[in-house]
Amino acid sequence: MSKTIRIGTRDSELALWQANIVKKLLEEAGHSTELVPVKSTGDLVLDKPLYELGITGIFTRTLDIAMLNHDIDIAVHSLKDVPTVLPKGIVQAAVLKRGNVNDTLVFKDNEEFLGAKDAVIATGSLRRRAQWLNRFPTHTITDLRGNVNSRLQKLQDNDWNGAIFAAAGIGRIGIRPEEAINLDWMIPAPAQGAIMITALEEDNFVKEACAELNHEETEICTTIEREFLNKLEGGCTAPIGALAYIKDEEINFKGVLLSPDGTKRIDVTRVKKLGEHNDMAQFCADFIIERGGKRLMDKIKHSDRKTNVFSTKRFTEDQRLLFHEKVVAESSDFIKISLNRIHPRFLKNEIQNVVITSKNAVESLTTNYSAAELQFKNIYCVGRRTKRLVERKIGKVTHTEKNAKKLAEYLVEFIEGTDVTYFCSDIRLDALPTILTENNITVNEVEAYQTKYDGFKVDDSVESAMFYSPSTVESFVRSNKNEVIAFCIGETTAKEAKKHFKDVRVAKVPTVESVIELVNEHYV
């Protein structure tokens, strides 16, 4: 029996319109659906320009969390709002046929101000601001935030000459005024005008249902645009435009990077035959970078501000892009891992009960032995990521819990036999072995890897630190005695942090990206 597909969406009029389109298409394909409106940070914070909020994916993060928590099955987004790198476990399930890609100027009275030295134009987009000032350098740009309806009303209520909107947005909900013109000279945001559906990677039923709605031409073009954006390392805080379209079996691309004030501009154009376009985004991004784009991006991204957040785990570039512009974050691995050789005597017979509490233990086991050599009857582990790694590299997991204490309590009640083999580090928490031993369960500890503290003193300007395990907390406090806000990946880490810091906060889901969101919420 097919399940009802729960469609997550923001609760603005435009978002609901888009979600209802998806709902209609799914139901026409024979699926049962239900709308689940969810408020986003972008809807709730209306007193700052969008680019000042700086959170890549500000309109998608709440829906991502709802999906990872299994509160919704799919999410419907304006594709231009979606980060170029999706959270782990979430995939692009479909892109609908694209609408109007243009930006539109809505004006009052007439267009004569376009030839005037002085005019006031409203927009919350740094890309639109930069391109407008590049064309009309003497004009004034004022900030404009809110949903489409409220922005149109603000235009009427203020002494502005005009405001810039996405043509698709005002067109879809039927409120495009007569006093409006498309700005075909303005290069749109990557993927502007396209609607995207995301789903959980593991949900094959939903992915197959959504695949029926996918529009291949739109997918090809928006993928190129978003890859171009990704290669330039741009998000809400960089003025980047990109547009790809297919004509006569050829893909035409144009892209632009500007300084925020519009005084500097680097353009690129490219035409490739359909099917020979795989390197198009990379070529165009390199073209921009080699002509001063790197210096321009560095100037946009970095300033003389001092570091205020330090991460005890090194960021990937994609993670670094997620930070609010008020966050000046540095990162380094405060913990170094060395995998041990596990002696064959520990594995000479089938082991009935195995406990694994980290991905490092999995890596140690699979570095030493093949899956066929690891004969475990019952595997118990901590954390869904460790579980996924175990099942991919070793075998089926019997049971998993969020932390070691909960796993120990489960084993006390349900374990088969009276002993476990625990593949652990030379540094580990006492909760699990202590609880098991107190309940007459023998714990055979095998040191699978070593944990080395590799911390150092951070700058005095650091106000907060990001922690991902109790060991990262210990490594930090060995070299740093200053009080900081501790942003923690989970409760076990938070418990250790509370021994040293007064202000300890825990991420909603146990991912680096969720800890970053916690940091952004504090600095907005």
pLDDT at 128: 95
| Strand 90-95, strand 195-200: pairing | antiparallel
pLDDT at 315: 87
Please say which residue of 453, 469, 496 terminates a domain.
453
CA distances from 199 to 8, 28, 41 (A): 10, 19, 20
Q: Do 25 and 174 belong together in one domain?
A: no
pLDDT tens, residue by residue, 23-39: 999 999 999 999 998 86
**Cα within 13 Å of Cα(166), Cβ side:** 25
CA distances from 406 to 134, 357, 363, 402 (A): 59, 12, 23, 7
pLDDT tens, residue by residue, 226-250: 999 999 875 546 899 999 999 999 9
Given a cut of 50, the residues of the chain with pLDDT beneath it are 1, 42-46, 49-56, 236
Token pair 């916690």: residue: 518
Residue 426 phi, psi (nearest 5): -70, -20
Identity of the residue numbered 306: K
Q: What whole-number distance in Å separates Cα of residue 241 and Cα of residue 243? A: 7
497 CA to centre of own chain? 25
Nearest to 453 by CA among 338, 364, 314, 319: 338
pLDDT at 44: 44
Q: Do 202 and 178 belong together in one domain?
A: no
Please say which residue of 133, 161, 183 terminates a domain.
183
Q: What whole-number distance in Å separates Cα of residue 215 and Cα of residue 194? A: 10
In SS3 terms, 113-155 reads as HHHCCCCEEECCCHHHHHHHHHHCCCCEEECCCCCHHHHHHHH
pLDDT at 346: 81
CATH number at residue 146: 3.40.190.10
Q: What whole-number distance in Å separates Cα of residue 524 and Cα of residue 516? A: 12
Q: Provide the whole-model pTM.
A: 0.58
Q: Do 65 and 208 belong together in one domain?
A: yes
Count other C-beta atoms under 10 Å from residue 106's C-beta.
22
In the set 43, 81, 103, 203, the catalytic residue is 81
| Strand 240-247, strand 250-258: pairing | antiparallel
- Cβ pair 260, 128 in contact under 8 A: no
**Cα within 13 Å of Cα(25), Cβ side:** 21
Q: Do 91 and 197 belong together in one domain?
A: yes
Q: Do 431 and 470 belong together in one domain?
A: no
Asked about 298 being catalytic, the answer comes back as no
- What CA dihedral angle connects 323, 329, 334 and 340, to 10 degrees? 40
pLDDT at 50: 41
**Cα within 13 Å of Cα(270), Cβ side:** 28
CATH number at residue 228: 3.30.160.40
Would you give the end-to-end CA distance of the chain in angstroms?
Answer: 45
- Cβ pair 104, 181 in contact under 8 A: yes
Q: Do 3 and 137 belong together in one domain?
A: no
Identity of the residue numbered 238: A
Q: Do 170 and 197 belong together in one domain?
A: no
Q: Do 346 and 444 belong together in one domain?
A: yes
pLDDT at 510: 82
Range of the domain at 488: 309-334+454-523
Nearest to 147 by CA among 115, 172, 169, 180: 169
Q: Do 319 and 419 belong together in one domain?
A: no
Q: Do 434 and 367 belong together in one domain?
A: yes
Q: Do 329 and 373 belong together in one domain?
A: no
Please say which residue of 402, 419, 453 terminates a domain.
453
CATH number at residue 435: 3.40.50.10090
Q: Give me the number of domains the chain comprises.
A: 5
Token pair 């007193």: residue: 47
Q: Do 298 and 220 belong together in one domain?
A: yes
Q: What whole-number distance in Å separates Cα of residue 190 and Cα of residue 223? A: 9
Q: CB neighbours of 492 closer than 8 A, spacing ≥ 6?
A: 403, 404, 405, 429, 469, 470
- Cβ pair 489, 510 in contact under 8 A: yes
